[in-house]
């Protein structure tokens, strides 16, 4: 799905000093390649991803968002405790919920997406060691958002019809901060889901 960016948020797409790739850059729609070589240059790129996930600012990032078609994601739901997953897969998912999402590659656009609340994943860590983990709550949502990026899928493709809207995140932040401190913004999650998180 492609969307028309409204004039009042177009400036968010024109920041040439920000390395995060925005729509309609085709890299966001390309298939990604599995990682087989855990070299020093890969480690440098992973550090670059962690930096831009945090400073995006966001709570996760996928390699295509920094212009590389590689199967690497960073999941950082606690905003500062990044976890890196290489060649990630979802083994099992349960309990559907709806949550409002946004994306560093689609700044200023938000909408409701159906996700699974609990997922079991398998991946490699940044050094190639196998990881299995069950995620619930926000970590699960971020993981699903990021793994979609590795398949060229954006949250706007999955948004529940009629829920997408545009708002300058700087203005939205001010409103959110007035309501609740430490609100999360930009990547993956913007508002509380329609049930309480247990994590
Ligand atoms: Zn995203």
For 70-100, how does the pLDDT look when each residue is reduced to its tens digit (9 = 90+)? Answer: 999 999 999 899 999 999 999 999 999 999 9
Ligand 1 centroid – CA 68 distance (Å): 14
Q: What Cα–Cα distance (Å) separates residue 198 from each residue in 6, 41, 118?
A: 36, 38, 11
Q: Where are the domains of the chain?
A: 7-179
Rounded to whole angstroms, the Cα distance separating 109 from 167 reads 6
Give residue 104's region: left, alpha or beta (phi > 0; psi -120 to 50): alpha
Angstrom distance (rounded) from CA 149 to CA 53: 14
Alpha carbon of 183 to ligand 1 centroid (Å): 17
Tens of pLDDT along 116-146?
999 999 999 999 999 999 999 899 999 999 9
At 154, the pLDDT band (50, 70, 90 cuts) reads very high
- Active-site annotation holder among 83, 100, 101, 146: 146
Residues with CB under 5 Å of ion ligand 1 are 103
Percent of the chain beyond pLDDT 90? 78
146 in active site: yes
Domain 7-179 fold is Peptide Deformylase (3.90.45)
Mean pLDDT, residues 32-51: 98
């Amino acid at each position: 799905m492609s969307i028309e960016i409204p004039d009042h948020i177009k400036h968010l797409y024109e920041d040439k000093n920000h390395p995060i790739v925005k729509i309609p850059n085709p890299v966001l729609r390309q298939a990604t390649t599995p990682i087989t070589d855990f070299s020093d240059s890969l480690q440098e790129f992973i550090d670059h991803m962690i930096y831009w996930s945090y400073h995006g600012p966001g709570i996760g990032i996928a390699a295509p968002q920094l212009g590389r078609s590689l199967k690497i994601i960073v999941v950082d739901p606690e905003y500062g405790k990044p976890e890196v997953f290489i060649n990630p897969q979802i083994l099992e998912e349960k309990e559907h919920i709806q949550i409002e999402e946004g994306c560093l590659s689609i700044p200023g656009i938000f909408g409701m997406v159906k996700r699974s609340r609990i997922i079991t994943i398998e991946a490699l860590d940044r050094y190639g060691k196998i990881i299995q983990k069950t995620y619930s709550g926000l970590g699960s949502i971020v993981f699903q958002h990021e793994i979609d990026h590795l398949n060229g899928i954006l949250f706007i493709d999955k948004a529940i019809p009629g829920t997408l809207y545009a708002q300058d995140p700087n203005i939205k932040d001010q409103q959110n901060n007035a309501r609740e401190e430490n609100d999360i913004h930009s990547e993956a999650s913007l508002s509380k889901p329609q049930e309480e998180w247990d994590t």
